[in-house]
Structure 1
């Protein structure tokens, strides 16, 4: 279970970073840019993905020591 949480955390962090980089460089890849529902809110969604990734890493760490 820890490996799954860490993997999902890594994916969330990577997508968040790609979303933020895309806003400043106009790259055209990543999950956030391809979701039409998030038009105009890409930066907020990317920051939320970064926070989610951090929370998933924290949850994985807390399960290791418990």
Structure 2
């Protein structure tokens, strides 16, 4: 589930960034999918910013909810030598 969330979040983040670049510079004309949605006419930049923010949040939550080992992490270098 974590990998799927990271993939979806990454795609949302990518599409948001591509949409922002397209609206500001005009590049990535075919990759900016937000511009093909007729109900967002005139609000493509705001939708792209929102898409990038949502994608970043999904990736951050997926990373944070990853599997963690139970108990404290103690490496071998942190232990005192036995006498």
Using CA pairs below 8 Å that are at least 6 residues apart, which structure has the higher relative contact order?
A: 1
Q: How big is the alpha-carbon RMSD for the aligned residues of Structure 1 and Structure 2?
A: 1.4
Structure 1: 5+ residue runs without aligned partners? Answer: none
Bigger radius of gyration: 2
Residue by residue over 1:6-27, the C-alpha shift from the partner in whole angstroms, topping out at 9 and shown as x without a partner, is: 0011101111111111112324
Q: How many residues align?
A: 66
Please give the secondary structure, in 1, of the residue aligned with 2:65. helix
Q: Tell me how far 1:65 sits from its aligned partner.
A: 4.4
More helix by share: 1
**Any unmatched runs of 5+ in structure 2?**
69-83
How does the TM-score come out when normalised to structure 2? 0.71
TM-score by length of 1: 0.87
